[in-house]
């Protein structure tokens, strides 16, 4: 399973997000379950050529993801996984 949060965006906002995600991601339509109902949502998936499992997130980014998981009440096991995931030793981008 994968956990996340679904947001409603305008066409203009979606275009802006496309620009932020850049060439290393592909926007795909996924089936998602929201309160037991299946729907479709866009997700940005990293291209295989852009994935490097030796990299770690910046501490500020991991904190941002953790805050979002807590705020949106994602499952405790997933929140604990984020907490335990080691950040980069580099502090800023």
d(CA 44, CA 26): 5
DSSP SS3 for 85? coil
Residue 52, pLDDT score:
92
pLDDT digits (tens, 9 = 90+) for 23-69: 999 999 999 988 899 999 999 999 999 999 898 999 999 999 999 99
Rounded Cα gap, residues 3 and 33, in angstroms: 10
Q: What is the DSSP string of 31-64?
A: EEEETTEEEEEEEEEE-GGG--TT----HHHHHH
pTM over cut 0.85: no
Give the closest residue to 68 by CA, choosing from 19, 2, 4: 4
């Amino acid at each position: 399973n994968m956990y996340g949060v679904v947001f409603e965006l305008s066409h203009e906002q979606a275009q802006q997000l496309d620009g932020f995600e850049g060439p290393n991601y592909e926007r795909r339509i996924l089936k998602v379950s929201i309160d037991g109902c299946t729907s479709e949502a866009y997700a940005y998936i990293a291209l295989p050529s852009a994935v490097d499992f030796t990299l770690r997130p910046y501490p500020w980014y991991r904190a941002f993801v953790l805050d979002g998981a807590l705020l949106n009440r994602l499952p405790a096991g997933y929140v604990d996984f984020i907490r335990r995931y080691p950040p980069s030793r580099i502090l800023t981008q």
